[in-house]
Amino acid sequence: MPGRITARSCMDVFNLRSRLVADYQSYTRSFIKIRDARIAEHVDNALNAGVFWPEPLLQLNPTFLPGGTIDNLVEQGVLHPECARIFRIDKSDTDHSGKRLLLHEHQRAAIVKAKKGKSYVITSGTGSGKSLAYIVPIVDHVLRNGSGRGIQAIVVYPMNALANSQDEELKKFLEKGYPEGRSPVRFARYTGQEKGDAREAIRGNPPDVFLTNYMMLELLLTRAEDRELVRAAQGLQFLVFDELHTYRGRQGADVALLIRRCRQAFGGHDIVCIGTSATMASGGSTEDQRREVVRVAQSLFGVDFSPEQVIGEALERATPEVDLADSRVVETIRASITSDAAPPADYDTFRLHLLASWIESTFGVRKEAGSGQLIRQAPRRLQGDEIENQKSAASELAERTGADPERCAAVLHRFLLHGAGLRRSESSRFPIFAFRLHQFFTRGDTVWATIEPGAARHLEIAKKAARPGEPEKPLFPLVFCRHCGTAYYRVKVASEDHGRTLFPREDRREDDDDGSGDAYLYVSEEAPWPRADGPALFDRLPDFMKETTTQGVERVRPDSRADLPEPVFVDVAGRIV
């Protein structure tokens, strides 16, 4: 019985995240050397607070509305009978029968749309099987039209890694279960990674399905040696662009023109144009986003699109929806937290647990205002500080139930990990709680400080224009000697009508910046800079500024004297006075 299925063991991603953070923190601390105790303490506090590796965001992969099986579409006459043999999962070298491929509703809708010869854009999240939404109708078309009749579909990827991944997936479907070289649908990758012999083989015997990137597609239209491929693509049926959201700005304009040239070169006015994306539009209602996708699709493909040609994901809950305002529900959840009981071992009991319902509502899905349809929840922190006026899930749960926040976080950890290993049945592909952690690491910036004496200067761990509330006191980036840890302000000296002024100097230089005026400012009451005529200054100079005369006398090189540090008086605004 499905309800008897128990959880499989799975990796504790929370422990993995802790180890990654600890390793990165150790690595970061290993090259920090700061002499000034106050600055060192400021940086140490920032590291301990996790400024450069904040608490991760957590999001459940939602449960997709089922769309039947490939076998169902074959029985309905939508797909060629051979598709039932091709599209099976878990095929092996010894067992080609595999298991039935269960479709999501958005995949089924896309297959039906393609069957009618309609272009479409599919907008569903990562891991939702967008590639099957165009691969299945392409394979079906080749099976019905016949293999070996030239290039019938071109699929364009923004990165070679994606093309390589798709190439491997197609091998599982189209090669396993068939004698070598006898695949019913031929495909080939043509991305620039292939050796000369492989390219010649593709030109000499073009595949049915052509995987490439937009740069190679551009070259294909212009290179004489690729003319055979252009001829082979006459009457092209499908033109697919994966990850449409990557084509923006100038690159988007280039790709839009490329698509128009392709449609002209391949002589297909009825080409089915397909785009996929997880993040084509954000903000507004689902209908607002759909209209924005239509606008972008029309701009890129140069063909008419309607909102009906935008296929979004259809979701359903894995757990029952409960009224979280009901005091009895809250009390039951509180009791499960304080009792510290283990999560239910079987699928059906776990699915009906009120805390599991709360977790899905918090991290998984919500009803959209107005339409009432289920949409994804935005990623959210499980624990830690408030972000963008939103409390962490553990803090909210503690507030609702009166339980301890730390205990709430621990129970949520336990339920999430348990749900990540719990499937409806042995044949189920996804657990009830497939979730992901979004952990951000930053390389950091540097310390920014006002030009003031040690105890008075204001410190920030990230770039800010000025001291809060005092715009007349700009902040400057600090750099540190890697040998002794002494702090210097990184500045640029500019001549103005009233004299010279120091400005903050970024680490990255603009194209038109020749480096003139670049300087470093040293400010210290405890260890003032040595006098210009004293031996202590000579000891501080780098070796490339010094030389030894034929008489054995050490001195400053003549061509370095202009670069010797000069004493200046500077006010808090950076003006040299």
Q: Which residues constitute the domain of residue 116?
A: 106-313
Residues 6+ positions from 410 with CB-CB distance below 8 Å:
none
Question: Are residues 167 and 294 located together in one domain of the fold?
Answer: yes
Q: What is the CATH number of the domain that holds 254?
A: 3.40.50.300
Q: What tokens were used for 132?
A: 């099957």
Quote the CA–CA distance of 462 and 457 in Å, as a whole number.
15
DSSP state of 421: T
Do 500 and 369 fall within a single domain?
no
Q: At residue 389, does pLDDT exceed 90? A: no
DSSP 11: -
pLDDT confidence band for 179 (50 / 70 / 90): confident
| Whole-angstrom distance, CA of residue 524 vs CA of residue 533 | 19
Question: 521-527: long-range contacts (C-beta < 8 A, 24 or more apart)?
Answer: 521/451, 521/476, 521/488, 521/489, 521/491, 521/568, 521/570, 522/486, 522/488, 522/489, 522/565, 523/451, 523/453, 523/489, 523/570, 524/454, 525/453, 525/454, 526/454, 527/486
Q: Indicate whether 189 and 274 sit together in one domain.
A: yes
Question: By mean pLDDT, which of 101-105, 241-245, 423-427 is the weakest?
Answer: 423-427
Do 306 and 329 reside in the same domain of the chain? Answer: no
Q: Which of 387, 407, 438 is the last residue of a domain?
A: 438
**279 and 396 co-located in one domain:** no
Q: Is 90 exceeded by the pLDDT of residue 340?
A: no
Residue 4, pLDDT above cutoff 50: no
Query: Sign (positive/negative) of CA torsion 501, 504, 505, 511?
Result: negative
Q: Is 342 within a domain?
A: yes
Q: Which helix (H) or strand (E) holds 67?
A: strand 66-69
Q: Is residue 74 situated within a structural domain? A: no
In a domain, 176, yes or no: yes
> In the listed set 297, 313, 329, which residue is the last one of a domain according to the structure?
313
Whether residue 540 is contained in a domain is answered as: yes
DSSP 172-235: HHHTTTS-TT--SS-EEE-SS-S-HHHHHHHHHS--SEEEEEHHHHHHHHH-GGGHHHHHHTTT
pLDDT tens-digit map of 535-544:
787 888 888 9
Residues 346 and 205 in one domain: no
Q: Is residue 71 part of a domain?
A: no
DSSP conformation letters of 92-153: -SS----EE-EEEHHHHHHHHHHHTT--EEEE--TTS-TTHHHHHHHHHHHHHH-TTSS--E
Say if residue 349 is in the same domain as residue 219.
no
Q: How confident is the model at residue 371 (pLDDT cuts 50, 70, 90)?
A: confident
Segment 2-19 mean pLDDT: 73
Higher pLDDT, 281 or 438: 438
Over residues 227-270, the pLDDT tens digits come to 999 999 999 999 999 999 888 899 999 999 999 999 999 986 78
User: What does the pLDDT read at residue 455?
Assistant: 86
Q: DSSP assignment of 455-471, as one string?
A: TT--EESS--SEETTEE
Same domain, 470 and 537: yes
Q: Average pLDDT over the chain, rounded to whole?
A: 90
pLDDT in tens, 466-522: 999 999 999 999 999 988 899 999 999 998 877 899 999 987 655 455 557 889 999
3-state secondary structure string across 305-338: CCHHHEEECCEECCCCCCCCCCHHHHHHHHHHHH
Output the pLDDT for position 71: 95
Kindly state the percentage of the chain with pLDDT values over 90. 69
Which residues contact residue 153 at a Cβ distance below 8 angstroms, ignoring those fewer than 6 apart? Answer: 138, 141, 142, 208, 209, 210, 236, 237, 238, 239, 240
In a domain, 64, yes or no: no
- Clarify whether residues 370 and 480 are in a common domain: no
Q: How far apart are CA 132 and CA 147, in angstroms?
A: 19
Same domain, 206 and 276: yes
Count how many domains the chain has: 3
| pLDDT at site 2 | 44
Tell me the pLDDT tens digit for each residue of 54-94: 999 999 999 999 999 999 999 999 999 999 999 998 887 77
Contact call for residues 111 and 135 (beta carbons, < 8 A): no
Instruction: Answer yes or no: do 233 and 373 share one domain.
Output: no
Say whether both 292 and 421 belong to one domain: no
Position 570 in a domain: no
pLDDT at residue 1, as a whole number = 40
Question: Once rounded to an integer, what is the mean pLDDT over residues 558-573?
Answer: 89
Of 295, 313, 331, which residue sits at a domain end? 313
Residue 98 lies in a domain: no
Question: Is residue 43 over pLDDT 50?
Answer: yes
